Every structure is written in C-alpha cells, then in structure tokens.
Chains A and B, each alone.
Chain A
Amino acid sequence: MLNYDVIVIGGGPAGLAAAISAKKQGANVLLIEREARLGGILKQCIHDGFGLLRFGEKLSGPEYAWRYVDEFHQRKIDFNVLTYVIGIEKLEHKYLIRVVNTKGVVEYTSKTIILATGCRERTSKQVFIHGTRPSGVFTAGTAQAYTNILGQLPTKKCVILGSGDIGLIMARRLTLEGAKVCGVYEAKAAPSGLTRNIMQCLNDFDIPLYLSHTVTRLYGEERLQAVEIMKVDESMVPIPGTEEIVECDSLILSVGLIPENELAESLHVRMDSKTKGPVCDDDFMTSEPGIFICGNALHVNDLVDYVSESGELAGKAAANYCYESKEFVSFKIGKDLLYFVPQQISISQVSKPATLYFRSSQVLKKAAVTIKVNGKQIFEKKYSYLKPPEMETIKLDMSQFHLVKEDTLTVEVKGEKV
C-alpha cells in the first residue's frame, strides 16, 4: 500500500494550490480528483475576471486553472483522475483512504489529508418551488456545464432565480448565445452577487433585476412552460395576491452554494452552522488532527484568488504538520458577522501571520471590524462599505498578542446600516 505525507482530495483551484504548496515543502503528495480532468469547476467557468489579485491579469477560468495545472505537472506530483473517495479511516497518526477507479478499490495511507471538495448548488426543492416536474429546470452550474462543456443550449427563453454570481454570469452567457433572459429575480432586498457582475451581466444587456421577488410554482407537464412569480416580504415570505405568471422554457436557479462536506462529516469534524463548513484554525486544520480543509468546502468564496490562497496555506501547514498537540483560543463571533474563518487561533510563540476571512451579514457603510482580547481592542480595520456578497480578508500576526488558552477573543463588525 502506498503511503503519503499529504493526500489532497479535489483537483480544483484549492486542491491544486494545496498540492503544489505541500510539494514545495518537500512532502510526498497525492492528489485525487473524481472528474476526468483537473481544474475543478473552473473548466466550465469560461468567463474572465479570475486572477486579478493573484496574477494581476483578467483570466478566464480555464486559463487560471492552467497556471496551476501546468505547475502541478512540472513538479511531477502524483495524481489519480476519475477516482472517487469511498471512505476514510482514522489510524494512529495517519489516515487510511479508500478510493474507487477503473483499477478497482485502492487503498492509500497518509499522514495528513487536505479536503478541497468544493461545493454544490442549492436545488429548487430546497427553496420549496412547487408545481409540476417538467424538464427545463436547471441550477446555473448545470446550465453552464451543458453550454460550455457539451456545447448545448439549455434554453431560448428563461427566468433566472437568484442574483448570485453564477446566475448573473449565466444571464450574460445565455444572452450571448442568443437566448432571452426575461429577468433575474432575487428574494432578498439586495443582490447576492458582486456589484460589478450586476453591471456587466445585467445592465449591459438590459436584463431587469427584480428584488424581493421569488418563483413559487412551475407550470408545464413535460417541458417548462411558465413560472409563477410572487413578491416577498422582509422575511422572504411570499405575499398573497402578488402572483404573476411569466412564460418561459427554462428556470435557471442560482440560489446559493453549499460546501460539500460529506467526507468531513464522516470523520466527525466539528462543523460551523454559519459557514456550513468545518470549524478550522489558522492553519486550516479542522478539529480532527491531520485533517485540513481549504477552498469552497471551508466556506463559499467569491474570488478564486482567495480559494488558491487558502489551498496554499493549508498545503504548507499539512506538509509541516506533525502530530503534536496544539492549544487554541476560539473566536466569539459577533452576530453582525455572517461568518468568520478561522473560528479558532492556535497559540503560537512563533510569528505566524494568520489569514482571516469574513462576511458582514448586512450592507454597512463607514464600517469597522474590531478584534478584542478580554474586552480590550487589539486590532481594528475600517471599511467604507461592507456587503454580504463581498468577502473580506485580513492578514494579522496573532502571535504578537501572546494569547493564552483562557483568553476571550472576540471579533465584531459595526457600521451604519444602509
């Protein structure tokens, strides 16, 4: 049986960055990917806007992925594609990982595992759309796969539910391919996606955006023929009497991403109900020693640049990990934060800049994020605007605060509501 120092599960941007970073540290690395090609979801994200922070260039998804895939192959890192993890078992200071591929069921052991399993899309049933079950209902990612990988047009006239980035991107993509987008409907009072995407995907093509609206029913026995739209109140509950029928042949759903953590949960790692991902420390290690997490499986990012960064940091930490016991201080996360990662900081005397990620739960202006130890403010950063769709990141060397286990560490955000 082959033994490794680091096994990375997932060959998308997070996994590739993690594998490269771990290899750079001298670790013996294996990357496992369930699709036929490396690159993850980037393979179908043919639009540009990737890599502005990382490379200073506006790249398309496949081009961004190629930067990493190329380096990955140059470093001759072991990898298996069309390989699916069916189980992970905890052993003494290592893990047994069982996979299935065309060779059969194969087992490996590894000192550490990095989960880079990405996320999946929320479905129509999870937002309680009722009515019939016709064809023509797609999540945006599935519509994207048909369009950009199989070269097939999923619709000629569609309604998009959800103003998340993928929905906005698909609004533009489908318009470019000759489809009509009747409108983008968003149940919240503010759009979910990046503002620049509202501009260049909707405004550029005169596609209307309807806030505080949702789709409640589908019509059509075989193929979708129309949807029922309703206005919603502040709690996103449909308001009776506001029903409107919009004829279309497709409903494209962009109603949220859910981190994919079946493997993490099977290992009983502690989960954060706010991120829907595992609780981790500033080394991207979960509550299970030796299990690391990065990318969208940890929390849903907007920019792939941060996904790669988290992979890089997780890879470095996993490569250098030896099963020594660590002490942590957990963050008490203020309620105005949608979430904050990492949820705990390892106590270290050695200088170690931590990378912190967070989202505000509402739109704020003249905002500030403050970190306090035992009530005393140790750090503050000011922002002119904070918005839930736009994740923020801070680099902070926590070792300078000489934390001890008994300290109370809090992080809060405040500002003027808009």
Chain B
Amino acid sequence: MKELVCIVCPNGCPMMIEDMGTSIKVSGNRCKRGEEFAVSEMKHPMRTICSTVKTNFPKVPVLPVRVSEEIPKDKIFDVMREINKVVVTKPISIGDVIIENVLGLNVNIIATSNILKE
C-alpha cells in the first residue's frame, strides 16, 4: 500500500495504490488520468524535465529547453548529462528540436523560448 499525490493537474489528489498482484487498486483519484498516473508510478514512473542549454550568443548565455514527452524517472540525470553537452550556435525557435531521440528514448529535447529569434 503506497500513498502518493497525483501531479497530473493542480488538484493534486491524494491517492492510495495497492499492488494486488494481478492488478493495481487505485483510490482517491478524481479522474481517469489520476488512475493512469498511479499505475505508472507503481510500475515505471515517468517525469518531464526542463532545463537550459548553453549558447554561444553572449547576450543570451542559455536557452530554455524541455523534453517533448515524459521520460523514465530513473533516466533524469542521464538526460541532463546529454542536455549539458549542447551548445546552440544558430538562432532557433520554440519547438525546434535540439537533441533528437535523446538516449534512444523516443523523446526529443525541444527549445521552449523564442529569445534567439527576437
């Protein structure tokens, strides 16, 4: 029996999940997404991470980025290491892919700001 708080939406429903062997019992959620979150937290927790990448534009030393989809929670620091290797040298826009399919996880690292285009 595990207690957790759902992070899918601002409601932050406190939930209880129990591994019944063949299935997982979820209580406390107010919607389907909460139930899905609870199950995935038990089996393979996923997270989004947001960070910055270095640029070589002196007026904009770093550019904000994030993952395009959730990644496994245990891969957070590995993905951060990849993000930290990047130096952006061209002006890029929101949504542009900076690292394609990072670490083979089928997830891209995308830019979240248009600052280089302003």
Contacts and interface: CB of A to CB of B under 8 A. Distances in A.
Direct A–B contact in the complex, CB atoms closer than 8 angstroms: yes
Contacts of A199: 4-5, 7
B5 A46 contact: no
Contacts of A194: 10, 12
A195 B50 contact: no
A373 B62 CA distance: 55
A151 B112 contact: no
A177 B53 CA distance: 11
Contacts, number: 78
Contacts of A11: none
A237 interface: no
Interface in A172-212: 173, 176-177, 194-196, 198-200, 204
Q: Give the dominant DSSP class at A's interface.
A: mixed
Contacts of A47: 50
Contacts of A59: 112
B94 A63 contact: yes
B10 A149 contact: no
Contacts of A2: none
Interface in A46-76: 46-48, 52-53, 58-60, 62-63, 66
Contact of B9 (A52, A66, A150): A52
A46 B10 contact: no
Contacts of B113: 43, 46, 62-63, 66
Contact of B66 (A43, A60, A302): A60
B14 interface: yes
A66 B94 contact: yes
Interface in A200-237: 200, 204
A256 to B, nearest CB: 20
B80 interface: yes
A151 B7 contact: no
B12 A151 contact: no
A148 B94 contact: no
Contact of A46 (B6, B7, B112): B112
Given A60-B66, A148-B62, A176 B14 contact: no
